[in-house]
Structure 1
Amino acid sequence: MTKARDIMNGGAECVGAQESVLDAARKMKDLGVGALPICGGDHKLHGMLTDRDVVVKVLGAGKDPATCPAGDLAQGEVVTMGVDDDVEEVLRTMTEHRIRRLPVIDGHDLVGMVSQADLACSLPDPKVAELLQALSTN
């Protein structure tokens, strides 16, 4: 059975909770990604920062991205997957929580990310359609 480790993109990078949103946006641009996990000084996940968060919660709210800490945008408990979790569980989790990117952990350590595209490349067509429908419904 396919595991999260088989489809994830390894080597995910975090943005520090105390780093500015501007630094996070630059890191997203440099890495070519639309989201970064927010990690604290304890190296544990505190949340996710998306490009949409930058636009809506920072720029749209009139905040200065150079002075706004990324950690201020961490909300609630972070949804994660274990590295050895089955790809069907990854699909269920992303569908249930309506998320497009899912951090993959080994213990408490971030080891990768699974994206909607990663799942689309590894699942049969009907399951991909279900995922896309769930993520696209308002």
Structure 2
Amino acid sequence: MTTRQDLKARDIMHRDAQCIPAHETLDRAAQVMRQLDVGALPICDNDRLSGIITDRDIVIRCVAEGHDPGKVRAADLAQGTPRWIDADADVRDVLDSMEQHQVKRLPVIDNGRLVGIISESDLARHLTDQQIAEFVGKVFTPHR
């Protein structure tokens, strides 16, 4: 399927992305991930995006370091400024952002609120095979 040049982030995003509150524990985040069958959750603090947490973050940055996921809060793993894209950004901007920052999931914001998230599967439904190959080559290859 070829990408139409007029596609916007809102056209390809997965709607109804669920946030985990910043104060929530990592064991609860893992339960929500299981329930939703997702590998990442946006972290929200007072309805504002403050980060994103992945199942890998919980395992590597909490469990493997000997911390109790029942005591570590989602906010404790949210580092730096979260990457996001405006809902009206075009698909090329989405790809550029994901490639530049080497992220596999990108929250979508509209009027300051989280409205969705874009993942590799969302891209695969809307991009050509060549575009997907370029994306994978850039995102999954570490910068040197």
**TM-score band (shorter)?**
over 0.9
Residue 141 of structure 2 is matched in structure 1 by 137
Q: Does 1:13 align with 2:28?
A: no
Q: What is the identity, as a one-letter code, of the residue corresponding to 2:122?
A: D
Q: Deviations over 1:46-78 (max 9, x none)?
A: 111001100100001100000111110001001
Match for residue 62 of structure 1 among 56, 59, 66: 66
Match of 2:106 among 102, 106, 111: 102
Alignment map for 1:1-138 (pairs within 5 Å): 1-40=6-45, 42-138=46-142
TM-score w.r.t. the length of structure 2 is 0.93
Which runs of 5 or more structure 1 residues have no equivalent in the other structure?
none
Residues in 2 aligned to 1:90 and 1:46: alpha-carbon distance in whole angstroms: 19
What's the CA shift string for 1:78-127, capped at 9, x where partnerless?
11011111011101110111000000000210000000111122112211
In 2: Cα distance, 1:82 partner to 1:73 partner: 24
Question: With structure 1 as the length reference, what TM-score do the two structures score?
Answer: 0.97
Looking at structure 1, the residues matched to 134 and 121 of structure 2 have their Cα atoms a distance apart, in angstroms, of: 13
Task: State percent identity of aligned pairs.
Answer: 45
**C-alpha RMSD of the superposition:** 0.8
CA separation in 1, counterparts of 2:77 and 2:112? 21
After alignment, is 30-39 or 113-122 more displaced?
113-122
Equivalent residue letter for 1:18: H
Q: Which amino acid aligns with 1:79?
A: R
How far apart, CA to CA, are the structure 1 residues paired with 2:140 and 2:79? Answer: 21
**Distance in 1 separating the partners of 2:113 and 2:11:** 17
